[in-house]
């Protein structure tokens, strides 16, 4: 007997027919003799609608009430899933975050899970009852409902899997698994059978939207065996595993892109100790995250150019903050550009293979694509380019790294 967590995303519970077919997948797992705990997202579109109701009243809302409202979507889908299971002869009941409870910190709207009480859940499971857990929500130290940030039910599922010591955590979604890159852009993209935690973490944080980044982090830390798979077929999906489990490691496993960044250049800021701190301090005080950073060498030893990226959502605000500190920063000009895309190649094989970045630069050069900013880590290389070339670049790189499906 295995213990399995099955998580169904919004599109997998979008309407009653889909909830019925998701319930059938749970029943099939039970019929194989396994113990199952289910985690559900809200029905597709439900959370957006609830967020819309909140922001229609005020954009400067009380986040505790925001949580009370937006957590409601999962209450509905959890109840419906339990009913569908009962209808198929499976003993099941819904569990809301506060009933278990799933304890979180007090960061309303983006809370972190701190602990899950599992005794009652496990007792029910042992007696043959399927707990249907509302994803995305928890209980804060203030005894109020919290939510885990958009896409957070992935994290609920992984946290639950870790807490009950599940053998597997299946994430059912509307795609067949994790692809080498976005198949809507690159027709030759193919599904990966396996990907390492580290690569998946980079893929998720660099723009692939299939899993919430935090859920991958948690799976990696607790060694939860994750599988991303389609709720519309029975085909195996992508397993997220330890590096040792991958026999034939490609040098580059995947290519991610992120159109959500904007570039800011400060022309001629003073080249002296403390200047970076004086630029990025005010930005961080304003809760603006900076991603890529490059600083040029200065020709005259007096001034240099500083370029960095922020999210598009923070772009205007970042420019305002920098303008209001202009006197202290003493830059000559601020140039902003939101028409950029960040493209990243990812692969743990890079650690042991030289020349991986060079292939990227050559492939882009051959297409006449100018690289504006470069950043690297042990297992990824990211470049910032004009967003006019996003698709061309993705296709060229996919071919250059031998990822095209035949």
> Binding to Mg ion by residue 140, rule CB under 5 A?
no
Smallest gap from Cβ 7 to ligand ASP, in A, equals: 9
**Token pair of 194, please?**
């396996």
Segment lying near Mg ion (by CB under 5 A), choices 144-152, 229-237, 318-326, 352-360:
144-152
Nearer to ligand ASP, 41 or 344 (CB): 41
Smallest gap from Cβ 77 to ligand ASP, in A, equals: 9
- Residue in the shown chain whose Cβ atom is closest to Mg ion: 151
> Using CB under 5 A, which residues numbered 356 to 395 contact Mg ion?
none
End-to-end CA distance of the chain: 39
Nearer to ligand ASP, 109 or 282 (CB): 109
**Residue 136 binding partner per list ligand ASP, Mg ion, none, with a CB distance cut-off of 5 to 8 Å that depends on partner kind:** ligand ASP
Q: How many CB atoms lie within 10 A of CB 365?
A: 12
**Residue 150 binding partner per list ligand ASP, Mg ion, none, with a CB distance cut-off of 5 to 8 Å that depends on partner kind:** ligand ASP
**Residue 42 binding partner per list ligand ASP, Mg ion, none, with a CB distance cut-off of 5 to 8 Å that depends on partner kind:** ligand ASP
Smallest gap from Cβ 245 to Mg ion, in A, equals: 25
Nearer to ligand ASP, 12 or 307 (CB): 12
**Residue 265 binding partner per list ligand ASP, Mg ion, none, with a CB distance cut-off of 5 to 8 Å that depends on partner kind:** none
**Residue 304 binding partner per list Mg ion, ligand ASP, none, with a CB distance cut-off of 5 to 8 Å that depends on partner kind:** none
> Binding to Mg ion by residue 138, rule CB under 5 A?
no
Smallest gap from Cβ 51 to ligand ASP, in A, equals: 8
For residues 10 and 40, give the distance between their C-alpha atoms in angstroms, rounded to a whole number: 8
Smallest gap from Cβ 250 to ligand ASP, in A, equals: 29
* Residue selected from 73, 138, 151, 152 as contacting Mg ion according to rule CB under 5 A: 151
101 preceded by a cis bond (ω within 30 of 0) = yes
Q: How many CB atoms lie within 10 A of CB 223?
A: 10
Nearer to ligand ASP, 153 or 372 (CB): 153
Smallest gap from Cβ 10 to Mg ion, in A, equals: 7
For residues 318 and 311, give the distance between their C-alpha atoms in angstroms, rounded to a whole number: 9
Nearer to ligand ASP, 178 or 186 (CB): 178
Nearer to ligand ASP, 105 or 404 (CB): 105
For residues 385 and 368, give the distance between their C-alpha atoms in angstroms, rounded to a whole number: 11
Q: Over the range 262-275, which residues count as b (16 or more CB within 10 Å of their CB) and which as e?
A: bbbbbebbebeeeb
Q: How many chain residues interact with Mg ion (CB under 5 A)?
A: 2
Nearer to ligand ASP, 10 or 131 (CB): 10
**Residue 349 binding partner per list Mg ion, ligand ASP, none, with a CB distance cut-off of 5 to 8 Å that depends on partner kind:** none
35 and 126 Cβ atoms separated by less than 8 Å = yes
Nearer to ligand ASP, 154 or 305 (CB): 154
Smallest gap from Cβ 242 to ligand ASP, in A, equals: 25
Nearer to ligand ASP, 67 or 314 (CB): 67
Smallest gap from Cβ 209 to ligand ASP, in A, equals: 11
| Interface contacts to ligand ASP, rule CB under 6 A | 10, 41-42, 47, 73, 135-136, 150-154
Nearer to Mg ion, 138 or 151 (CB): 151
**Token pair of 23, please?**
């319930």
Smallest gap from Cβ 19 to Mg ion, in A, equals: 16
Catalog residues that contact Mg ion under the rule CB under 5 A.
9, 151
């Amino acid at each position: 007997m295995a213990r399995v967590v099955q998580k169904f995303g919004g599109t997998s519970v979008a309407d009653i027919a889909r909830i019925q077919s998701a319930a059938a997948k749970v029943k099939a797992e039970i019929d194989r003799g396994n113990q199952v705990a289910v985690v559900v997202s809200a029905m597709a579109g439900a959370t957006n609608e609830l967020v819309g109701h909140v922001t229609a009243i005020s954009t400067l809302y009380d986040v505790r009430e925001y949580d009370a409202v937006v957590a409601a979507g999962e209450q509905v889908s959890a109840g419906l899933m339990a009913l569908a299971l009962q209808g198929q002869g499976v003993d099941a009941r819904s569990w809301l975050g506060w009933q278990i409870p799933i304890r979180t910190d007090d960061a309303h709207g983006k809370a972190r899970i701190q602990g899950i009480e599992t005794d009652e859940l496990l007792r029910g499971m042992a007696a043959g009852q399927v707990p249907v857990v509302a994803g995305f929500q928890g209980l804060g130290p203030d005894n109020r409902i919290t939510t885990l940030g958009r896409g957070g039910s992935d994290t609920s599922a992984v946290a639950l899997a870790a807490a009950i010591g599940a053998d597997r955590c299946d994430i059912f979604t509307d795609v067949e698994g994790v692809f080498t890159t976005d198949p809507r852009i690159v027709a030759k993209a193919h599904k990966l059978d396996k990907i390492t935690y580290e690569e998946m973490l980079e893929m998720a944080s660099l723009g692939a939207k299939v899993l919430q980044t935090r859920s991958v982090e948690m799976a990696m830390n607790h060694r939860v065996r994750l599988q991303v798979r389609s709720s519309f077929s029975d085909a195996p999906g992508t397993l997220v595993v330890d590096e040792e489990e991958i026999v034939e490691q490609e040098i580059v496993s995947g290519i991610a892109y992120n159109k959500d960044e904007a570039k800011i250049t400060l022309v001629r800021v003073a080249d002296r100790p403390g200047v970076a701190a004086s630029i990025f301090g005010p930005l961080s005080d304003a809760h603006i995250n900076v991603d890529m950073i490059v600083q040029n060498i200065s020709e005259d030893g007096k001034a240099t150019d500083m370029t960095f990226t922020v999210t598009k959502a923070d772009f205007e605000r970042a420019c305002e903050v920098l303008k209001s500190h202009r006197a202290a920063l003493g830059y000559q000009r601020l140039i902003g550009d939101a028409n950029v895309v960040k493209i990243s190649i990812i692969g743990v094989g890079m650690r042991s293979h030289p020349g991986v970045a060079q292939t990227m630069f050559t492939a882009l050069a051959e297409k006449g694509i100018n690289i504006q900013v470069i950043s690297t880590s042990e297992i990824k290389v990211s470049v910032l380019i004009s967003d006019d070339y996003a698709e061309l670049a993705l296709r060229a790189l996919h071919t250059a790294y031998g990822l095209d499906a035949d």
